[in-house]
Amino acid sequence: MTLRERIRFLSLNPGKRATERFYLLYTAVWGTLTAALMLSDAAVAWGDVPLMAWGVGLWLPVLVVPLLRRAPEDREKPFHRLYGFKMHACLLLMAAGGSYITFYFYEVLHMHYGFRTQWNLNNVPLFLYVLTVAYFATYSVLLFAGYRFLTSLLPERTPRPVRALMAVPVSLAVALLETLTHATPLMRHIFCYDDVPFMLRFGTPMYASWFVVWLALWF
């Protein structure tokens, strides 16, 4: 098999590939809508109810669409055996756990939110718990695609431990991408770090280590 034939980004499994393709396409939807909200006055003016409705509205497609738009090979499977359902369970667990365990971001990286919400859980607005599922759906595909691409560039007989190390640069890239797209002057009124350079050089590798663990669990 030639290098060109080995290179791939999406899964070879039809069910996984259909879900990953949807996550990528949906990125344009939730990304555009969220950017419009965060850059407007509504992000600060809205209260708990509209923000929660917003978060749930952007979260539900991550759960529902993969169940409805199945690959032909998956049409007879019960819903709990579908990759999209199982992947969503992992994403929900990661989003909820990651949103709740935030002392590191507050106490070490000095992260701040500017939302005027009362529905908060461990200092994090409740709507972000569900909205983050959409974020991590995108991150999961970027991690998968990057990992598959890098490992496909390696010789076919490369030992498995060496292949596993490819998760490190991919995770660093995704963690850096999140920081660069969120901690911007345009969004400082709603989300910021006291020291962005410190976040980039220290926080990004720490965040990436979390992605390395989840990448292994997702696979």
Strands 120-121 and 124-125: antiparallel
How much of the chain is in helix, strand and coil states, percent to nearest 5?
75, 5, 25
From the list 126, 141, 118, 111, the residue with the least C-alpha distance to 55 is 126
pLDDT at 19 over 90: yes
Q: Are 124 and 102 in contact (CB under 8 A)?
A: yes
pLDDT at 5 over 70: no
Render pLDDT for 70-83 as a digit per residue (tens, 0 to 9). Answer: 999 998 999 999 99
Q: Where are the beta strands (DSSP E) in the chain?
A: 111-113, 120-121, 124-125, 191-193
pLDDT at 44: 85
Average pLDDT, the chain: 89
Q: Are 193 and 115 in contact (CB under 8 A)?
A: no
| Cβ neighbours for 66, distance < 8 A, ≥ 6 positions apart | 18, 19, 22, 82, 83, 84, 85, 87, 88
User: What is the identity of the amino acid at 93?
Assistant: L
pLDDT at 103 over 80: no
pLDDT at 123: 84
- Collapsed DSSP state (helix, strand, coil) of residue 189: coil
Query: pLDDT class for 1, splitting at 50, 70, 90?
Result: low
Q: Are 119 and 125 in contact (CB under 8 A)?
A: yes
pLDDT at 102 over 80: no
pLDDT at 2: 65
CA angle 74, 79, 82 (to 5 degrees): 50
> Phi and psi of 62, rounded to 5°?
-60, -35
Query: pLDDT class for 11, splitting at 50, 70, 90?
Result: confident
How confident is the model over 155-176, as a mean pLDDT?
93
Residue 92: count of CB within 10 angstroms of its CB: 18
Render pLDDT for 108-165 as a digit per residue (tens, 0 to 9). Answer: 888 888 888 999 998 889 999 999 999 999 999 999 999 999 999 988 889 999 999 9
pLDDT at 67: 93
pLDDT at 189: 82
Sign, CA torsion 186/62/218/112? positive
Query: pLDDT class for 21, splitting at 50, 70, 90?
Result: very high
Q: Are 146 and 165 in contact (CB under 8 A)?
A: no
